[in-house]
A and B are shown apart, each in its own frame.
Chain A
């Protein structure tokens, strides 16, 4: 599948995300001739262990994530970042997890927004919100380059595109910027070419960044 970079909005110190920034970003995509194509949505669910003795919580993963991505509606992905594990499964795995009664959903977040076509690039801009809520927790952006599925071969063109994009966005003087933190896919046992498992790992990485930036924002305010 085509290479994709998932980016997250990193607010400047002392600022936070708001829907005005999201609007500006969307307008910016349209200003560089991005053609709006429709909506997209991914869902990230944090699971927590159901324990009889809470004092043993340290023995179980704290960052167990279940992810559904729009390009693979019949698949579901599990990621445990701390142990660099990613697993792809048929979506029926969610049913199995329910039956096992060993982990339950702690919180679920949606990445949702609009998709744009820009030549050979596909862009998705979206907000990060808890399911059943409009409480904005972050902004994400996906850049997909349709002709290439090799991570290494696409690196130069992706970097060049991002440079142009950051320049276009900088004219709006927004209080932050999009960051690309590429996970070490090899640690997850993910070789070339790019697959949806790579996307799941990127989502998990972005989620960790968002949590870290919310926590550091709180620390600044305190």
Chain B
């Protein structure tokens, strides 16, 4: 289970945000370069439509793979009273042939992306991770060296913290109070951004320009429309 808040920021403000985060967290940033592959089950397989994310950490000397399953977001009265999104997630570190295995099992590539940016990990009422990254799409299959930004001029900010069914209200409170510091720099939303990014990338196939928006304004619009953005 994790608590998550997402936001977007114009690239011109990223440096200021980084300085703020450095001051707030008291730790150094870590470079972030993650190749993310989203797979979906083939139509005949499984009782339900399922989706799995394979994350490859390219910052390590030997690329490290993780499988991540993101479940549904918590709903109901409890969820409405907190200002972050709570969802079930399960992760497992895996060896490098994970993609081959899932293809063999009948999973198909839906889309892939490359996150490039930085992350801060720190303890502040909860084990919080803040990532600031540009989202890039590959022009050729798996060609991470030839990636281009999906939303030029706009970067995605994610604040996450692991939680359990016992402590999520405390974790959510710690995250909300931390996010207040970030509010002047970015538009914070719950989870519309990643859904919209998935959709943009789902539309975008290698060699086709669909899914890449031309300007920062268009990028912001594509990520934010109908999103019900809320500043905390």
Contact = CB atoms under 8 A, between A and B. Distances in A.
A88 B96 CA distance: 9
A49 B91 CA distance: 22
Contact of A85 (B43, B46, B50, B104): B104
B147 to A, nearest CB: 26
B97 A100 contact: no
Contacts of A60: 45, 105-106
Nearest to A54: B44
Contacts of B43: 52
Given A60-B105, A92-B91, A100 B69 contact: yes
A100 B3 CA distance: 21
A100 B95 contact: no
Contacts of A59: 44, 106
Nearest to B107: A102
Interface in A72-103: 78, 80, 83, 85-93, 95-96, 99-103
Contact of A87 (B69, B71, B90, B94): B94
B105 A89 contact: no
Interface residues of A, number: 31
Judged by DSSP, the binding face of A is mixed
A51 B52 CA distance: 18
B13 interface: no
Contact of B94 (A52, A89, A189): A89
A96 B46 contact: no
Interface string B18-54: 0000000000000000000000010111111010100
9 interchain residue pairs of minimum CB distance: A102-B46, A93-B92, A90-B92, A88-B95, A89-B94, A100-B50, A92-B92, A96-B69, A87-B101
Given A88-B94, A100-B46, A100-B52, 17 more contacts: A49-B46, A49-B105, A50-B47, A52-B44, A78-B101, A83-B100, A85-B100, A86-B95, A89-B67, A89-B94, A90-B92, A90-B93, A92-B90, A100-B50, A101-B47, A102-B107, A197-B95
Interface of A: 49-53, 56, 59-61, 64, 78, 80, 83, 85-93, 95-96, 99-103, 189, 197
Interface of B: 41, 43-48, 50, 52, 67, 69, 71, 90-95, 97-98, 100-101, 104-107
22 contacts: A49-B106, A50-B45, A52-B44, A53-B44, A60-B105, A60-B106, A80-B104, A83-B104, A85-B100, A87-B94, A89-B94, A90-B94, A95-B92, A96-B67, A99-B71, A100-B41, A100-B69, A101-B46, A102-B41, A102-B45, A102-B46, A102-B107
